[in-house]
Structure 1
Amino acid sequence: MKLARIAVIVVALVAGLFALVLAKSLGTKTEIVEVQPAAPAETIDLTEVLTASRNVSLGESFTADLFVWRKWPKASTAPGYITRDARPDADSKLVGAVARGSFLEGEPINEGKLAIGGKGMMSSVLPKGYRAAATPISAATSAGGFILPKDKVDVILTQQSNKNVSSETILTNVRVLAIDQTTEEKDGVKVVVGETATLELLPQQVETLTAAQAEGSISLVLRSLEDADDNTEVSDANSGTIILVRSGTMTKRTVKQ
């Protein structure tokens, strides 16, 4: 009996050992996953650009609080932008400059759109070679009051003699600089109908308008945005010269008589 018990115990131990070895051999193998390092993020070279801290209207004078330096990608910096690296004191040096165009909040300051140095607002927004001339208007003679600063208009002279009335267009594609003292609509609200319109004219056109005001009544006709452009052609019959204006640049051409 003792031998039988011993044999059973030995068989049990052998079986247990065999089971242990078998369990280890069938156990889950640990997989080693190689982690690839993340690619380094692409760095963007930045600079600081002088921008408008809020919306700035045409003819508005810049104060120190209207300037703010903002981070800007160097690759997207246009030639007219003012960088802090090149001009660190620009935000103080440009105080008092007059906006010759509108600026949106966050828009980089382009020095080409600024008039610098103690000049009047209206003279600052006038392109080189142009004059500002005023003419009386009313709702009836200004498209019912729908004409606003920056619009383009045609100028019509109406004359009346006895029972005859005649009208002719004396100027075309003229830019309106201001209605009374307003140079731009405010916050999208149209201004009240004014009594005077200030027009952007060449010297020859000023003479034409002044003579027409003495001859009859002046009306302004609003032009479509698609019809209005930056090219104007003015002829001088006395000198045989045509002045072609493109984006504020005048070119004289002699016409053979």
Structure 2
Amino acid sequence: MKPARLAVLAIALVAGGGAAYLMSGEEAPPPAPASAPAVAMTDVLVAAADLPVGQTLKAQDLRWQPWPDQALTAGYITRSAVPKGLEDASGSIIRTSFLANEPIRTEKLVKAGSGFMSAILPSGMRAVAIEIAKGGSSSAGGFVLPNDHVDVISISVAKAGPGGSSEQPVQTAQTLLTDIRVLAVGQVVQERNGETVVTGETATLALTPAQAETVTLAQKVGSISLVLRSILDTGKANDTASAEPAPETALTVVRFGVAQKQLRK
């Protein structure tokens, strides 16, 4: 073999060995990341859609949904603990509204047959049902709904003049209570001559004991009308100042057809 060819072969061998050495010195590719550990899940009973207050639950209103174990609380209904939780909850009345996919909690439900009104009534308050004119004429045109806030107006008829000497009757209206929460609105159903008829409408209000006395007395001496308040005015005092005593500190007494207000002592 000629010396020139030997020199070329030697150069090629040296170049190949250098390349192999350089390649052996490169860092190995990083290992593939390990997969994240699986999150433990438990089936939880949730609302299948938005559920309002007072609705009676049906099977289609509920469903089981996987829920992370780390996010479970003691109030949730789980399939492992209560396999028939969906069937047991069906037929209950909703005490507090649910949003879609919100877990169902037993304290927000009222079993069928128990007192629903007493369940939604705040502590210290009284539920008083008042009869209003049929057709909604005295209930803001029929637009008063549960959880609305209203003013309560008493309408009475008295004879004009001191001592009621005049024969011409005079109707008077007086705002008894303001910013009162409506718990329920329904109809009065009675039987007459063997037939079921609707004789009027009722509105159930959440009142303090003193307010309940005032409204009960007003119903005896006249009629009651409800005035719907804006939702923006809920919890606010009236814009107009009144020199009349507070509703809870005054009573309207009718003697011989003349209405008089007396302060509660």
Q: CA deviation at 1:125?
A: 4.5
User: What is the TM-score when the length of structure 2 is the normalising length?
Assistant: 0.63
Q: Structure 2 CA distance, aligned partners of 1:63 and 1:10?
A: 99
User: Could you say which residue in structure 2 is the equivalent of 1:12?
Assistant: 4
List aligned pairs for 1:137-176, cutoff 5 A.
137=133, 141-143=138-140, 145-161=142-158, 162=160, 166-176=172-182
User: Counterparts of 1:136 and 1:237 in 2: how far apart (Å)?
Assistant: 23
Aligned match for 1:47, one of 39, 42, 47: 42
- The separation in 2 between residues aligned to 1:237 and 1:44, in whole angstroms, is 63
Residue pair 1:157, 1:218 contacting (<8 A) in 2 also: yes
Query: Which shows bigger deviation, 147-156 or 14-23?
Result: 14-23
Q: What per-residue deviation string (whole Å, max 9, x for no partner) do you get for residues 119-155 of structure 1?
A: 4765664456632403315666444555332112221
- Return the letter of the residue paired with 2:182: V
- Letter of the aligned partner of 1:134 in structure 2? I
* CA–CA separation in structure 2 for the residues paired with 1:151 and 1:170: 17
TM-score scaled by length of structure 1: 0.64
In structure 1, what is the equivalent of residue 194 of structure 2?
none
Q: CA-to-partner distance for each residue in 1:97-129, whole Å, 9 max, x for gaps?
A: 111232222221121221114247656644566
Q: Could you tell me which residue of structure 2 aligns to residue 197 of structure 1?
A: 203
Q: Provide the rounded CA distance (Å) in 2 between the counterparts of 1:81 and 1:169.
A: 46
Further displaced range: 103-112 or 84-93: 84-93
Shift in Å, 1:200: 3.2
* Equivalent in the alignment of 1:95: 90
In structure 1, distance between residues paired with 2:178 and 2:80 = 46
Any idea what SS the aligned residue of 1:108 has? Answer: coil
Q: What SS does structure 1 have at the residue aligned with 2:67?
A: strand
Looking at structure 2, the residues matched to 90 and 75 of structure 1 have their Cα atoms a distance apart, in angstroms, of 21
* Kept in 2: contact 1:126–1:132 (CA 8 A): no
Work out whether 1:228 is the aligned partner of 2:234. yes
Q: What percentage of aligned pairs have identical amino acids?
A: 39
Q: Which ranges of structure 2 fall in alignment gaps of 5 or more residues?
A: 161-168, 188-199, 236-245, 252-264
Is the Cα contact below 8 Å between 2:211 and 2:248 reproduced in 1?
Answer: no
Q: 1:105 — aligned with what?
A: 100
Distance (Å, rounded) in 2 between the aligned partners of 1:25 and 1:75: 58
8 Å Cα contact 1:61-1:98 kept in structure 2: yes
How many aligned residue pairs are there?
216
Q: Which runs of 4+ in 1 moved over 6 A?
A: none
Deviations 1:180-209 (A, max 9, x none): 46xxxxxxxxxxxx9543323456544432
Question: Aligned partners of 1:221, 1:25: CA distance in 2, in Å?
Answer: 99
